Amino acid sequence: MEARRRTVSHRETLLQRVRAALAEQPVELPLPTGATPGSPEEWQLPRDRLASFSEILTQSGGSVHSVRNLSEAVQAFRRLVEELGLERIAISDATELHDFVAAVPDARWTLAQDLLEGSPGREDLFDCQAGLHLAQGGVAETGTLILDSRKELHRLTSLVPPVDIAILWAREIHANLGSALGHFEEHGLPPTLTLVTGPSRTADIELELVVGVHGPAVLHVILITEES
């Protein structure tokens, strides 16, 4: 009871100080409304959004592999596994990925369901060479992936292993940041919404770019272009 009263008064004290200060020069200002200046026009054609997304994500250090459908995506994934010599792979709980596991049966797969708090799987995660998951959306303007923590267990899968492999359907690509945010304003936000634009990087030492710091050093996006 005592503690709660103290906490309430911290809040009240702070708000009172704010109100008192504002009262010294009160002013009513309207919030700016309407589209943000220069918001690139909604690309009408999905293929324009796709092109912009691919180009800008590539410029940002990601690799984009365009395929027509899910089974081609599996093939692209198998090629990556061979190219990169992947043997230990973390995978999210997305059911669309069952075919990917079946296509590489010899790999040691670490399941996201086994990575939850206290699970023994967590140590395996740090040993994984790559993480495979879906992205719930993209942004054409900025070459960005959108990860919605409500829809899939991919928070750690997409973050800890040094190689990140994301599957994205091109039809989920929004035109720009405004429309992407608008989508979540309408449908509500998950506990964590993560926007990914390329691999991790730093310039903290003499401003020299180093790619691959705490997050993945390599980002591959397998982009599925089929309409439905």
* Cα 43 to Cα 86, 173, 175, distances in angstroms: 37, 10, 6
Residue 24 in contact with another protein, rule: CB under 8 A: yes
Q: How far is the CB of 170 from another protein (least distance, A)?
A: 20
* 4 makes contact with another protein (CB under 8 A): no
How far is residue 26's CA from residue 115's CA, in Å, rounded to a whole number?
Answer: 52
Contacting residue, 83, 208, 227, 228, with another protein by CB under 8 A: 208
Burial of residue 190 (number of CB atoms within 10 Å: 0-12, 13-18, 19+): middle
Is residue 137 a contact residue for another protein (CB under 8 A)? no
φ, ψ of residue 63 to 5 degrees: the values are: -115, 130
From the list 22-30, 46-54, 67-75, 78-86, the region that binds another protein by CB under 8 A is: 22-30
- Can you list the positions of beta strands (E) in 33-186? 63-67, 88-91, 108-111, 130-134, 137-139, 144-148, 163-169, 173-174
Can you tell me which of 1, 5, 11, 102 binds another protein, judged by CB under 8 A?
Answer: 11
Task: Considering the complex, state which of residue 106 and residue 186 has its C-beta at the smaller distance from another protein.
Answer: 186
- 171 to 200, contacts with another protein by CB under 8 A? 176-178, 181-182, 184-185, 189-200
CB environment 157-167: b (16+ within 10 A), e (fewer)? bbbbbbbbbbb
Does the CA dihedral 76-168-60-158 come out positive or negative? negative
Is residue 149 at the binding interface for another protein, with CB under 8 A as the rule? yes
Task: Write down the least CB distance from residue 93 to another protein, Å.
Answer: 10
- Which residue, 83 or 208, is less far from another protein as judged by CB? 208
**Rounded Cα gap, residues 56 and 8, in angstroms:** 48
Residues 29-68 that bind another protein (CB under 8 A): 29-32, 36-39, 56, 60
Q: In what order do the strands lie in the sheet with 108-111?
A: 63-67, 218-224, 163-169, 130-134, 88-91, 108-111
Q: Which is nearer to another protein, 71 or 192 (CB)?
A: 192
Smallest gap from Cβ 6 to another protein, in A, equals 10
77-106 residues in contact with another protein (CB under 8 A) are: none
Tell me the window of 70-78, 129-137, 156-164, 220-228 that interacts with another protein (CB under 8 A): 156-164
Residue count of the chain: 228
Binding residue for another protein (CB under 8 A) from 86, 91, 104, 156?
Answer: 156
